[in-house]
Every structure is written in C-alpha cells, then in structure tokens.
Structure 1
C-alpha cells in the first residue's frame, strides 16, 4: 500500500471512523459530548473542549502550511481556546475539527510519494512523514485523555 493512502487511512481512523487502536475515535467521542461536559474541569486537567481546540489548532496550522509553505503556529497558543458558552459554540468547534481532520486526511492522500521524505517547511522540523506520524501519535494521546475525562464526568453525573 502506498504511504499516502496508509497515512490518510490512519488519520481517518483516529478522527473519523476507526476503532482498531483505541476502540473509539474523535467523532464518536465528541458528537456524544454535551457542551457542559466539554467545558467541565476536573482538578488541573484540561477540559475536553480545550483538548479538542488544541488538536484542531495543529490541524488548521498544518493545513495552512501545506497551502502557503509557511508554518505560522506556535505551541504557546495551542490552548488559547475561546470561551464555549453554548451548544452552538461547542458544535462549531467539533464541526471544525472533524472538517479539518477530513481535509487533512484527503490532503495527505493526494501527496506525491517522494514528498514524505522531504523536509517539512524547514529542515529543523524533520520530514513530512515524521510530522504526519506525529499528528497521528499526538491525536491518539489526546483521544485517550478525552476518553478518560469523559468517563470521569459520566461517573460524577
């Protein structure tokens, strides 16, 4: 299987429709999370909404980098979530994440095979492959957090 198809499928798995690695995915977790649950804080843990924003921040930033050839995101802003004050605010964030995830996977599926070994924007960021694998790993990490936080919330309701 070509890397571009393999990686696009892995991205769709973690975000949209997979169950193999984590027995869940972002879409499944977030579509059944109320906005009140999404903003609920447990001790010093990030909220589900903050984690959703964080992952989407990177997806949007990388999509812009693919389009413009410049990486303009910074870790220090990746948790600067605007207030979620309603179901509409939450649904907008979830919709943006799922749309960006689908667009990201579709973009990867269109890459030329030789691009994966090329430097991503600047040599200091490593290759395209390393960055895409990083997105997958980072996304699973936070999906695990979202799943656990949601379980804690549901137990306390």
Structure 2
C-alpha cells in the first residue's frame, strides 16, 4: 500500500460517519445531526436506542484512536454498550460534537499511518493487522448505521 491507500481508507471511514452517500445513501452525521434527543433515546421494543448505537461506534473510534496515537488498547467489547443515559438535547448535541471531532481525528490518523504499519499486528496477533481493524471499523459502522436508519423509521412512523 502507499499513502494514497491510507487516504482512500480515511475517506471510506469519513463516508460512513461524516459525509458519504455512496454505499448507504446516508451517513451517521446525516442521520443524527439534527435529531431530537427524544428520538435518539426512544426505546423501540427490545432494540438498542439510536443514542446507544452511536455511542457504541464512538467508543470503538476512541479505542482505536488511542492505539494509533501509541497508547494501549483499553476498550473491551463487554463495556461497548454501557453509557450513562442522554437526558437532554444539550447532552446529545455535546456527544455529537465529540463524535464528529473524534471521527475526523481518527481519519487524519489513518491518513498518516506509515505504509509498513498497515500490515503489522494491531496490538496483538489475535486482533489481526492495522488494515483489518480499520476496515473492520468501517464495516462495523455501516452495520450499525443500517440499524439506526431502521430504528429511526420505526420510531418516527410510530408517532
């Protein structure tokens, strides 16, 4: 891979979170930016809330960012859905502001990854390579974006 490929990866990540429409015809920012926190936190049957799903993706972005910055992998799957409740529009808007900022930081870190790093082990061999984890983050984000779109439609059609 060359740096051009890091840019492609970073832009694929930006597409799902910040600005793309190519794969899903939407992205996280498009779905969440002007969303009333009452819809974001509304429970639909036994599904996760939109808020929880967005925070779940943010949790992984923050965790992988820590590693890209030279830190340890401190996130754990078992905690990836545990967040305090969002109880106001201000809290929701503050979360989204961090989500967009942290997503852009993550994308910029991908862009600057050295070529030789992409195919090395991400923290430990069992986690696969850096490129596999970045691709996984993108795919994981699309998976939950689809859920968010469907949950939002179900909630909005219920009212």
Contact 1:69/1:121 (8 A) holds in 2: no
Counterpart for residue 118 of structure 2: 116
Instruction: Tell me, in whole angstroms, the C-alpha distance in 1 between the residues paired with 2:115 and 2:65.
Output: 18
Equivalent in 37, 40, 44 of residue 46 of structure 2 = 44
Deviation at 1:101, TM superposition (A): 0.9
* Structure 1 unmatched runs, 5+: none
Contact 1:17/1:25 (8 A) holds in 2: yes
Instruction: Tell me, in whole angstroms, the C-alpha distance in 1 between the residues paired with 2:51 and 2:158.
Output: 18
Deviations 1:58-104 (A, max 9, x none): 00111112223311110011011111110011111111111111111
1:74-153 aligned within 5 A:
74-153=76-155
Which runs of structure 1 show a deviation greater than 4 angstroms over 4 or more consecutive aligned residues? none
With structure 2 as the length reference, what TM-score do the two structures score? Answer: 0.95
Pairs aligned (count): 157
With structure 1 as the length reference, what TM-score do the two structures score? Answer: 0.97
1:22 aligns with 2:24: yes
Deviation at 1:53, TM superposition (A): 0.7
1:50-89 aligned within 5 A:
50-89=52-91
